[in-house]
Amino acid sequence: MITSVRTALVGALAAALLPLITPSAAAEPLRGGTVDFGRHLQPIDGFGFSQAFQRADLMHGAQGLTPEHQREVLDLLLNRATGAGLSILRLGIGSSSDDVYDHMKSIQPTDPGGPDAPPRYEWDGDDGGQVWLAKEARRYGVKRFYADAWSAPGYMKTNGTDANGGTLKEEWRRAYADYLVRYAKFYRQEGVPHHRPRLHQ
């Protein structure tokens, strides 16, 4: 199991870095040279990963990995001395009314009665295993967290579902902005303060 996880992680990192190599550069013969790690070139925020869509729950949930295997996977991802040393964690902001299969459950799964009605948020303190993962990442020194919303809840959208396209209804814009802020506050409440809600484009 861990061997396949390690292979998948190496493959994913290789696939992520492959586009950085241009075809002309890949075809050029290797030449001698000097690498100066003290020289500043293109700045980056870091490298990261995501375990959204309940992937974190596969590691930590009731049917997840043993504590020893959890630690081995976390070390592979986050340990700066023996692993990849990833420094960014991207979380998924749920929009579904349930958590069946890989659905990410919304913090407000049902319409509270319209965009001007008082919100009815529901927070389970787990968020598909992502809260546990974020806390573990902080222990490894990760300070940069992004939260991506792949969709608004269906009742806020023109097509009535959180899948298959559609757009946010004009009258729900303020309520949805409040929804994203509330999501960030739930994470702060759990001890993950450096949380930045971001709408996926």
Residue-wise pLDDT for 105-147, tens only, equals 999 999 999 999 999 999 999 999 999 999 999 999 999 999 9
**Between the CA of residue 37 and those of 41, 45, 144, 147, 193, what are the distances in Å?**
10, 16, 23, 31, 31
Q: In what order do the strands lie in the sheet with 48-50?
A: 48-50, 88-93, 144-149, 195-199
Long-range contacts of 10-14 (CB under 8 A, 24+ apart): 12/49, 13/84
- Centre a 10 Å sphere on the Cβ of residue 99 and count the other Cβ atoms it contains: 18
Residue-wise pLDDT for 160-192, tens only, equals 999 999 999 999 999 999 999 999 999 999 999
Residue-wise pLDDT for 20-74, tens only, equals 444 554 556 667 788 787 888 888 889 999 999 999 999 998 888 999 999 999 9
Q: What is the pTM of this model?
A: 0.76
22/124 Cα distance (integer angstroms): 45
Share of the chain above pLDDT 70, in %: 81
Q: For strand 195-199 and strand 48-50, is the pairing parallel, antiparallel, or unpaired?
A: unpaired
SS3 186: helix
